Each structure stands twice: as C-alpha cells, then as structure tokens.
C-alpha cells in the first residue's frame, strides 16, 4: 500500500521515499561488507554471489530485469521474483515452494532489510540486490543498479551486449533526469496526489514531457538516435504500463499511449525486441496496482483490458 508522508498531507504532493541501501558492487573492489566509508561501501564483482530481487509489476525493478537480460548477466546474477500482491509485511516469496526464497531462505524481503539494518522503519522496496553469503542487502538504489550492471560487470557481459551507456553521457543524463521527474515519477505524482492542485501540476508536467518526447521521436528510432541506451529502458517501463494502469488508475487520461503515433511505434519497437516484451507480465502489473492501492481502488477490481496483442502489431 502507498505510504503518505506528512508533507503529502500538507501539500497534497506525493513524495517518493529515498533509497536506504546505497552500497555498490564495483569491479575495482576486492573487499567485502564493512570495507569503505559507512555511507557507501564497495562490494566485489563476483558471479553467482548476488541475488536480484524484483517484482515484475514494478517499473523500477523491471529496468534491472531488462538490463540484466540485454547484457547477458542471467548466469552471473540470479533472479528472485516476489508475489505482485503485498500484504501488511510487504513483499512475499509466495511464488516459490513453501513460500520461501530457495536461495536466501526467507519468506519476506523485509527479513533481509531488517537483518541488514535492525532499525529500518521505511517501506521495503524492489529492486534489491542481496548478498547470498551474508543475507545482507547490498543496494536498493534502483537508478544506480542498472548503471552498474553496464559499467562494473563488463567482464561478464555476453559478446554482443549493447553499449547502453554512451561515452559522452551529458545528453543521456539530462534526458534521464527530465523523464524521471515528469514521466517515471510523474505518473505516481498524479496517482497519489491528494489535492486537485498537486494532481493537475503533475498531470500538466507529464503530458508536456510526453509531447516533447513524441516530437523527439519523429526522426529517430531511439531517444539518442540510432542506438539503444539506458534512457530507452527507463522510459519503456513506464510506457508499457501506461494504458494498462496509469491512464485509468492514476488518472493520466489526456490520451492513451496508443494515441501518440511516435511514442506508440517506439514502444512497440522496443517491446518486440528480446529482453523487453518477454520480461513484461501484464497480469502481475495489473493485479499489483489495482489490488494493493486500496486508497485509489478500494474494490480491488482488476480490469480485463487492454488487449496485450496490440503490442505485437
């Protein structure tokens, strides 16, 4: 369930919780837990050591699933998938035998969070990378996770892995920030706003940015031109949920994705590439949003549509 801060109650504008665990896995590190400054320790790149915990409904986690697949890191970093429906204790491993992750041996991701920080009181989030040796959460810093998969795990990429991070990152980083503020997080700012003013401010920023992206894609295949990059992955995970969830559930209803000619063609082009559409689970997506956000959808009814076959046209 969504958590609303005191700031939300005062202004009506929803604020996203910060990331509690921001250690990094680095190819330059030979250390284990406890090495490096307390605020950001470095862990060694070591195939088979870490477990990426995701919910297939979550767009932030979906980024990591896509990048892991594109780079060919499936054998290097194992994957755990939680149930799309959270209960009062958070993300559950009920998709596994005995309702327990077979590698980590835990029933809830919260067990790893509290084992890492006994004083943790925030909301348990995905994606999270957990060290299978110690059971400690290495990171839940979703923006950094995918960047590090591209830059720190290069020795374990498949031979034809795409270069998702361009040599000159200036343009990409600016796009990433704009898309995060107005689109990736913007849909949540619409959906969880508690005043009309906060909702309309987020709504206007969202569609202004989508209009700009629609124009940008008029003469190019990807956001940076002819090559796939990290920013395309980050936009895709919001676009693929737009008509199924955000348009109705989050009231982002000026128009559907299918009514943006360039964005819709771009989203389908990505969907039909290995690593994108084959990592989308519309059942998990719809059940998570419509069932767990009971302040928005108290009946818990999950819509039947839209037809997912349109993504293959």
Tell me which residues are annotated as active site. 58, 188
Q: Is-contact 61 142, C-beta < 8 A? A: yes
How would you classify residue 119: left for phi > 0, otherwise alpha for psi between -120 and 50, otherwise beta?
alpha
Strand partners of residue 128: 53
**Whole-angstrom Cα distance, residue 282 to residue 305?**
10
C-alpha 121/C-alpha 264 separation (Å) is 40
Structure tokens at 86: 């959270």
CB burial of 191-220 (b: ≥16 within 10 Å; e: otherwise) equals bbbeeeebbebbbebbbebbeebbeebeee
CA distances in angstroms from 78 to 48, 91, 128, listed in the order given: 7, 18, 12
User: In this structure, what token pair is assigned to residue 307?
Assistant: 């037809």
Q: Which contiguous run of DSSP H or E holds residue 51?
A: strand 50-54
Q: Are 281 and 57 in contact (CB under 8 A)?
A: yes
**Distances, alpha carbon 313 to alpha carbons 81, 222, 269, in Å:** 29, 18, 9
Cβ burial of 15 (10 Å; 0-12, 13-18, 19+) is middle
The two structure tokens encoding residue 56: 């297939």
């Amino acid at each position: 369930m969504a958590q609303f801060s005191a700031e939300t109650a005062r202004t009506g504008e929803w604020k996203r919780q910060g990331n509690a665990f921001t250690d990094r896995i680095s190819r330059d590190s030979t250390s284990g837990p406890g090495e490096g400054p307390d605020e950001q320790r470095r862990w060694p790149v070591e195939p088979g050591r870490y477990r990426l915990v995701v919910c297939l409904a979550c767009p932030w986690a979906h980024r990591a699933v896509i990048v892991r697949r594109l780079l060919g890191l499936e054998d290097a970093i194992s994957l755990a998938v939680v149930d799309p429906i959270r209960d009062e204790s958070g993300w559950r491993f009920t998709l596994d035998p005995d309702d327990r992750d077979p590698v980590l041996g835990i029933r809830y991701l919260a067990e790893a969070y509290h084992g890492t920080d006994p004083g943790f009181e925030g909301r348990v989030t995905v994606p999270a990378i957990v060290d299978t040796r110690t059971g400690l959460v290495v990171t839940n810093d979703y923006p950094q996770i995918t960047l590090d998969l591209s830059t720190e795990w290069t020795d374990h990429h498949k031979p034809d892995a795409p270069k998702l991070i361009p040599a000159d990152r200036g343009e990409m980083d600016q796009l990433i920030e704009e898309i995060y503020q107005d689109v990736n997080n913007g849909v949540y700012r619409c959906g969880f706003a508690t005043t009309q003013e906060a909702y309309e401010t987020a709504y206007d920023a969202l569609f202004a940015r989508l209009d700009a992206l629609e124009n940008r894609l008029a003469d190019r295949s990807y956001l940076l031109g002819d090559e796939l990059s990290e920013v395309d992955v980050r936009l895709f995970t919001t676009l693929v949920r737009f008509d199924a969830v955000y348009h109705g559930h989050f009231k982002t209803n000026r128009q559907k994705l299918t009514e943006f000619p360039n964005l819709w063609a771009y989203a389908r082009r990505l969907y039909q590439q290995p690593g994108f559409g084959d990592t989308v689970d519309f059942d998990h997506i719809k059940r998570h949003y419509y069932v767990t956000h009971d302040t928005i959808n108290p009946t818990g009814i999950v819509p039947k549509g839209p037809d997912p076959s349109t993504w293959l046209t």
